[in-house]
A and B are shown apart, each in its own frame.
Chain A
């Protein structure tokens, strides 16, 4: 609850044109890209600088008002769904690229910068920022950092964590701190930068970030390998890695996914095969040439039906763009689309793909699978209908079993989408109770009043995924 008196104080900080609490404005921040979660915040606020953020956070701390920092709300774990009401903080006015430092190869940005805008800006200077979540046209850097997002290039270049050098953050008590710096080496004290990356808005509000850039690779080639057999495709993934080749991108799409993606993108994707691998390699021309040739041989050896290399950069770009649309395109199939994020060591990809198919059969649900196969990160996705309670129950059970299986194979419950509310019930499977306690201790130390994105990451008694409240 935000009383009138507190509301006035918020308005004093940002002005009435940046504070909203009409039903309409609250409703449009009651959801994110996670299916079936919705809950109204009490108000929405749009600060324009770190000092305003600090004042806002202090007020919230004093009055125990929950804070939900929100980028573009594209996360898939209900991380920005205000399940306990409170104040949603938006960063659309903090969306400046502050500096591109060509000497230190860094870029400093405000949290509201759109990932794609950042990538475009640095690429214009011949520099490369590799993390490229499929949502990059919409997602913000603040969101990427807090979910530790990965992307199509994660296999070779790693995820957001690997590129965050320094952060400016407002702690729940209103203190503004600086972590890290433009340094290649820095071992002074606890690594708070890494702690904040992936903290899902539960520890602090990020107000600025300095990110590492690398030189732009000279060339790039894109390949599509077609398979009549799902598991053969999965085996190829392990085989490529085992042969000590690390492609930039190694994506897996099964037939149902191919069909919907083609339906949207209309670029002539093959829809009559059981699976495809989308493979990219970048680097100097001779290395790319050499690796692609080796990869082609491996694909064919693992029974690829055919291997095609994109002839033009446009063709290659169309292929990756189409892959990025996979999730939303799957939403064409049924009213509700539930996507998961199970991840296994890449040597276990074939086993996991097989397990997913068996589980789908066992619970009689349709599961379409695609994902960043190269880093073991699969997105089994179920097209379903939230109104069909009986089926939803089977879906839930199937996912439970998928997570259990992933952990058995040495994997995890989420590779890049975060825990949020969606995965909270399963976190303990992965961490054990001691692991949870350690994390809770950290949370309590930073945020004794539990105002920062409460209800996320740590599970409550209930396991229900469906929350709708007014």
Chain B
């Protein structure tokens, strides 16, 4: 229950903080409706559409309705996929409105005790602390390697958890060891001729659970001719916080990141997770009311570039890339596509791989339902969206589904598992696949695999 006192405070803050011009900017044309997954999956309910949500936010400001449970519910059920933004002719910045509204509601509502504990642990205790992330991941690794996982799976104890979590547990990647995670160097030199100097945003999940993907990313960048700086002081991007109504923490993290990267004198800051990238690009908005930080945030934001984008810029697709013949399809990361506008680059890269038959999936740009922790907290809607996605994925007959964001990757793995296809279909991050293609190509041309771990002596590849 939201008490009437809470409602009053939320209403006041809506009046004070919501960007009213932006709310008015929505002319209610409805052009965004056909793009909204929750509108479609809810059976075309206006209350689960962008136009409806904006109207509700405005109505709260106008005092026409109270911010009751129903209003909160429609905002909660939004994926934050921002598919409504690029199609909006009026240019309404829906994502910013949503972020602000969620922040106001969350900060002024008393969560139940368990929810409070979980939120505090995740948002304050874990994600902002790289070392704790590493430790937690190593625990997972211990769980996976020690045999406990097998016992747990066999014993059926996982059935006690919600379905999404139980399946998720199966599809999590093999966690790296603590030692592997701690070995990250702060500087990597380009293979061959140096063309660019970039910084790498290593992320929190990406640098722990998906360490291998991060390693593949830096390798590709080196091959493309980039010197890479990886500042130690960087931290979690804050996207999870920002999207879950923890704006203050998100700002803190943003400031730490800006500081970590601002004196590096690099051409770009490279990301390999669509969700992080989009949040980093938005730092200037996040800090726009902070005179001390606004410009610094802008300078930071303009340097953000997704890995596939820089690879295309550096003509990586002209290098020898090869895979065993297979059909491949690509699932867009919503944030990479809708916020960063990067969608043709990954496709260009994939299509350039010899042996690959690229088949575009119907509605590849529609959210897969992962959306941060949405698939856990809104399991039902998430799985409905995922099932819909899998119908389209299967129709491509692809053996490989490529993604560009850890959340989407896990979600697609989840989808594959749910469909019982894990023996025949795989989901993979685009950089892992590209590295595989580099290796396969070098194997067939030179007859031996280049040991990419031996660093810069293997310059043959870049020529």
Binding site for B on A (CB under 8 A): 22-25, 27-33, 35, 38, 40, 72-74, 92-93, 114, 135, 137-138, 263-264, 325-329, 331-332, 335-337, 385-386, 468, 470
A29 contact set on B, CB distance < 8 A: 46
Contact: A92 with B43, CB < 8 Å?
yes
**Least Cβ distance of B46 to chain A in Å?**
4
Known: A23-B66, A24-B70, A335-B24. A73 touches B30 (CB 8 A): yes
Q: Are A331 and B34 in contact (CB under 8 A)?
A: no
Contact residue among B43, B55, B65, B73 (Cβ-Cβ distance under 8 Å from A31): B55
Given contacts A138-B33, A332-B90, contact A27 B64 (CB under 8 A): yes
Chain A residues in 8 Å Cβ range of B192: none
Nearest A residue to B66, CB-CB:
A23
Other contacts beyond A24-B70, A27-B59: 18, CB < 8 A: A23-B66, A23-B68, A24-B56, A25-B70, A27-B56, A27-B65, A28-B47, A28-B49, A28-B55, A30-B55, A33-B29, A33-B30, A72-B33, A92-B43, A138-B34, A327-B27, A328-B31, A335-B21
Write 17 A-B pairs (CB below 8 A) sorted by A numbering: A22-B70, A24-B47, A24-B70, A24-B71, A27-B64, A28-B47, A28-B56, A33-B27, A73-B46, A135-B29, A135-B30, A138-B29, A138-B33, A327-B29, A328-B29, A328-B89, A328-B90
Nearest-neighbor residue (CB-CB) of B23 within chain A: A335
Within 8 Å CB of B64, what residues of A? 27, 38, 40, 468, 470
Chain A residues, CB < 8 A from B56: 24, 27-28
Q: B88 at the A/B interface (Cβ < 8 Å)? A: yes
> Does B153 belong to the interface (CB within 8 Å)?
no
Chain A contact surface mostly: loop
Contact A25 B47 (CB under 8 A): yes
The 8 closest A-B pairs by CB, nearest first: A328-B89, A24-B70, A335-B24, A331-B90, A331-B27, A28-B52, A92-B44, A325-B89
Q: Cβ of B88: which chain A residues have Cβ within 8 Å of it? A: 328
Interface centre among A24, A25, A35, A337 (most CB of B within 10 A): A24
Residues of A within 8 A of B68 (CB): 23-24
Interface presence of B91 (CB below 8 A): yes
B72: nearest chain-A partner, CB-CB: A24
Output the least CB separation between A416 and chain B (Å).
15
- Closest residue of B by beta carbon distance from A139: B30
The number of residues on chain B lying at the interface, defined by a beta carbon within 8 Å of a beta carbon of chain A, is 35
Residues from chain A with a CB closer than 8 A to the CB of B74 are 24
Is the beta-carbon distance between A264 and B91 smaller than 8 angstroms?
yes
- Give A201 to B324 CA distance when docked, in angstroms: 61
A24 and B30 contact, CB distance less than 8 A: no
CB-CB under 8 A from B70, the residues of chain A are: 22-25
**Bound: A90/B62 CA distance, A:** 26
Query: Which has the most chain B C-beta neighbours within 10 Å: A328, A332, A336?
Result: A328
Q: How far is the CA of A468 from the CA of B25 in the complex (A)?
A: 18
Out of B28, B31, B52, which one reaches A32, CB within 8 Å? B28
Task: Given the known inter-chain contacts A28-B56, A335-B24, please indicate yes or no for A74 contacting B91, CB distance below 8 A.
Answer: no
Residues on B with C-beta less than 8 A from A35 are 27
Contact with A along B57-96 (1 / 0, CB 8 A): 0010010111010110110000000000000111100000
CB neighbours (8 Å) of B49 from chain A are 28
Of listed B30, B34, B46, B49, residue having the most chain A CB within 10 A: B46
Query: Which residues of B26-50 have CB atoms within 8 Å of chain A's CB atoms?
Result: 26-31, 33-34, 43-47, 49
Instruction: Let me know if A31 and B71 touch, CB within 8 A.
Output: no
Chain A proximity mask over B412-452: 1 for CB below 8 Å, otherwise 0: 00000000000000000000000000000000000000000
Interchain CB contact under 8 A, A332 and B25: yes
Q: How far is the CA of A470 from the CA of B64 in the complex (A)?
A: 6
Docked CA distance A137–B89 (Å): 13
In the assembled complex, the CB of B459 is this many whole angstroms from the nearest CB of chain A, namely: 40
A297 to B25, CA, bound (A): 41
